[in-house]
Amino acid sequence: MSKTALLFAGQGAQVVGMGQDLAGKFPSARAWFDRANIVLGYDLAGVCFNGPEVDLTKTENAQPGIFLVSWVCFQLLKEQVPDLKYEATAGLSLGEFTALTAAGAMSFEDGLRVVRQRGKFMQEACDVTGGGMAAIIGLDEVPTREVCAAAGVVLANLNCPGQLVISGAAEKITKACELAKARGAKRALPLPVAGAYHSPLMAGAQPKLAAELAKVNLVSPGVPVISNVTARAHGAAVDISAKLVEQVCASVLWETSMRALLAQGFTRFIELGPGTALSGFMKRIDKTATMLNVADVASLEATEKVLKL
């Protein structure tokens, strides 16, 4: 029997207008956006719907915005497909918080608040460290690690075969891109991000995030939630907080996480939230896996149709 995992979008997926058609069509979606505005005390929904882009891309808005839209997609899918069954969840970086919330490890309100604070803490770390990131396309992990060691940067995201992301001080990222191209990378592209996520330059955010998580009532999730840090299911509630703090500076083991789920018999994956980056990664990891997604009304209806067959 096939098993289904829910996958939640990470930072970078944000786009002005995300969630707007869902809120326009479904009163329950509008209610979640209104609820989020009350929880945070500002119009996050308006930033998601109308931007401007410069405001939406701020880490402190992008992170809760993606969390919120992904959560709304999840709630609407459950509403439209009442007998939806899933046996695990996972999320890319920020998306791991959404995955944990969807699995019942924390409340929606706590998840939204802590993600907003995480975004602020990470932005503060970015502002004082001057870091950057780059996508390395078409170079394997071992030579990419050698490039990182030579340039003094780190491997931040192992997304899928041929798609890795490096992170570190901005001038060192430039050097790493040159070295990667010399080693045979098809492309080495600096990314339009605020700083060096998933690197030691984010360490300043860790104690602040730990303090915020200490205020959250974390419980064991109802289904396995895959940790970005270990590529294994989270353990007891007491360990979840430590792994989420570690994740800020640690590499995101996305490909390994997906291969672990595939090895456990998962054949269907539903990406929830803006964009289809995770679906693209899965195509590079295992073309035989079934990928569905919910990002707007059209994709919700298409996924609902497949699930009700």
Task: List active site positions.
Answer: 93, 198
The strand pair at 88-91 and 3-8 is best described as: parallel
- 6 φ/ψ angles, rounded to the nearest 5 degrees: -95, 135
Amino acid at residue number 268: R
Q: Collapsing DSSP states into helix, strand and coil, what is residue 52?
A: coil
Handedness of CA 112, 64, 115, 124 (dihedral sign): negative
Gap between the Cα atoms of 58 and 77, Å rounded: 28
- Smallest CA-to-CA distance from 153 within 118, 137, 184, 177 is with 177
Task: Give the HSE-up count for residue 133: Cα atoms under 13 Å, Cβ half-sphere.
Answer: 23
Gap between the Cα atoms of 153 and 164, Å rounded: 13
Gap between the Cα atoms of 156 and 159, Å rounded: 9
- Smallest CA-to-CA distance from 66 within 57, 78, 79 is with 57
With b meaning 16 or more CB within 10 Å and e meaning fewer, what string describes 89-113?
bbbbbbbbbbbbbbbebbebebbbb
- Smallest CA-to-CA distance from 165 within 129, 130, 192, 189 is with 189
Q: First-to-last CA distance in the chain?
A: 16
Residue bearing tokens 């992990």? 141
